[in-house]
A and B are shown apart, each in its own frame.
Chain A
Amino acid sequence: MRARLWLELAGFAVLTAIVAGLPRYVSDFRARELAIVGMYFIALLGLSILTGYSGQISLGHGAFMAIGGYTTAVLSIDGVYGHQIRDLWTIPIAGVIAGMAGLLVGVPALRLSGLYLALITFGIAVSFPQLPKKFDHFLGGTTGKILNLAEPPFGLRTTTNNWIYYLTWGIALVLLLAAWLLVRGKAGRALKAIRDSEVAAASSGINLATYKTLAFGISAFYAGVAGSLYAIANAYVNPDVFPIILSVYLVVGLAVGGLDSLVGLIAGAGLIYFLQNHADTVARWINHLPALNLDPKQPGIPSMIFGAVLIVVMLLLPTGAGGLLRRVFGPLTSRLYTRS
């Protein structure tokens, strides 16, 4: 057990080193791309606590990201009593507000199981984009709200993109540590027990309601932080910034990354980013294969490719990348791993 602990800590240190050093070797634009991957990673961390550890499926976490993003937008532009809040400080506030929304959802979620919950949260994801349109005076309607361009604070001399990169990944690493501690600790064990068997967990004295609701709140907090960062990086928010399909992407990223593997989530985050922004690259690449004549610009091709990729990936990796890793490296580390 101790060996595993050292292994994980070492892995964390390596990750930190990579994150710290990477911008020196990549272009400014790449840094921004990596930052956005980091934001998805944060959201996925939260989602994995909810789905991977407490076993509740949410198809609506894009809505919590939207809450975080809009909170940041409103606070930094309209401010509180006209006093604008610097975008940096809005991040924790956005997280907390999203987290509270998550708790609010978590309470009725207790009464819903599995697929019912998936459907209701899907309903939330679908309904949410309507709200800014309804409360357009406050939330900007379909045009949205425009934020000030993000600037490195305290006169730090670095580019905007690098700043966003460090901000995002700094927060990501802190939140990763927090998630890791949570999962290893009493709460994590309780959540895993709930995931494996609610009846058994409850009979062992675990308060199902508290932990399940808490899981919702925490995962929403993470998503809110991610959404807030996204708003800052984007410099504007509107309903299309957090579309319905974002919630789907999150779940896909989670499933591909593997429900149990915190590091596999980086792969999941990367996948989301890639599919969202580079579907045309994939189309062009497929075009090189003989006998296939796909015009990547034709509407419908990106959807087809994304859909096909999803199906194939899930067929090949039903337990996600984390599951695959476990199967490949399992025998090697079987003495280090306990079945969780």
Chain B
Amino acid sequence: MFLYAFTWTEFAQQVAAGIREGAIYAGLALAIVIIYRFTRVINFAQGEMATFTTFIAWSLMNHGLSFWTAFPLVLAIAFAGGVAIERVVIRPVENAPVLTIVIITLGLALLLNGLMSVIWGGANRQFDGPFSTRTIDVGSVPVSVQDIGIVAVSVALVVLLALFFRFTKLGLALRAAAVNPESSRLVGIRVGWMLALGWGIAAVLGAVAGMMIAPVVFLDPNMMQTILLYAFAAAVLGGLESPIGAVVGGILLGVTITLLGRYVGFIGSTLKLPAALVLILVLLLARPGGLFGRVAVRRV
């Protein structure tokens, strides 16, 4: 099974690479979890929404703005976009069968993907991120500052989210609307707008994820497609409703896949995605709620 010579340094490097991969999935996985938890929708367009906002960032920077000037602008645009999408496209079919809503998000993904090709073209682009690409040594393992930055940002996002939901009035209202919409209305919460808020927040998370990833993988309309799949896997792994689970799941998944791909010749790089799938499936069979999720117990 071990087709290569094994060294601890290389192992550590692989783990570091896996953590960085995982942090990338985690960002998008967070967005998926937020939308699922608060609006009960799986948003297949999450990746395309993130790429779209990253393209907007690229355009802004192309017009002379620095990354950190463009950053808040892009977040604001992402937020508005997320809210608008929920109100225009999702709200009319709130009570439709699940399948209908899934298809709408799929349609949205296609639409955005096509739109990006039309507006910006399909060529790869360089995206200058906020972190430098020089490497520093952690122990004997060379790690790039950028990678550390990506992981740090993911963790920071989770913390910020947790604080928002736990300690702010709006966060509480959002949680209440997800848990009991009827009673929420009775205390004056505008549940419809809470759903829109959820989408807005998720869009912002996606935008951040996109801007973190683009420097690493180059920006093009299909940037997020494979990442989205791994992000779904990470979200499911962590339990679809838990933001912490999304990040932990993402990192675990990233490390496991990277190690498997490197050390199990059979899997190599071709079967990494199927391997992820099998892992998730096995885990779900053992723990149907994912690592951090809760399952509604239905005993018959």
Contact = CB atoms under 8 A, between A and B. Distances in A.
A116 B240 contact: yes
Interface in A156-196: none
A314 B107 contact: yes
Nearest to A203: B300
Given A314-B107, A315-B93, A57 B99 contact: yes
Nearest to A128: B274
A60 B240 CA distance: 20
Interface stretch (A3-11, A106-114, A217-225): A106-114
A108 B278 CA distance: 11
A120 B281 contact: yes
Contacts of A127: 273-274, 277
Interface of A: 51, 57, 59, 108, 111-112, 114-116, 118-120, 122-124, 126-128, 130-131, 133-134, 198-199, 202-203, 208, 248, 251-252, 254-255, 259, 298-311, 314-315, 318-320
Nearest to B36: A115
Contacts of B103: 251-252, 255, 310, 314
Binding site secondary structure of chain B:
helix
A259 B274 contact: no
A127 to B, nearest CB: 4
A130 B274 contact: yes
Given A303-B117, A304-B111, A310-B107, 18 more contacts: A111-B288, A115-B98, A115-B240, A116-B236, A120-B277, A123-B280, A133-B270, A198-B300, A199-B300, A203-B300, A298-B118, A300-B116, A303-B113, A304-B114, A307-B108, A314-B96, A314-B103, A315-B93
Interface of B: 36, 42, 89, 92-93, 96-100, 102-104, 106-118, 122, 221, 229, 232-233, 236, 240, 270-271, 273-274, 276-277, 280-281, 284-285, 288, 298, 300
21 contacts: A57-B99, A108-B285, A115-B42, A118-B42, A119-B42, A119-B236, A122-B232, A123-B229, A123-B232, A123-B277, A128-B274, A130-B270, A130-B273, A300-B122, A304-B111, A306-B110, A307-B108, A307-B109, A308-B107, A308-B111, A319-B96
B144 to A, nearest CB: 29
Given A115-B98, A203-B300, A130 B271 contact: yes
Contacts of B300: 198-199, 202-203, 208
A123 B97 contact: no
B222 to A, nearest CB: 11
Contact of B111 (A57, A198, A202, A311): A311
A336 to B, nearest CB: 24
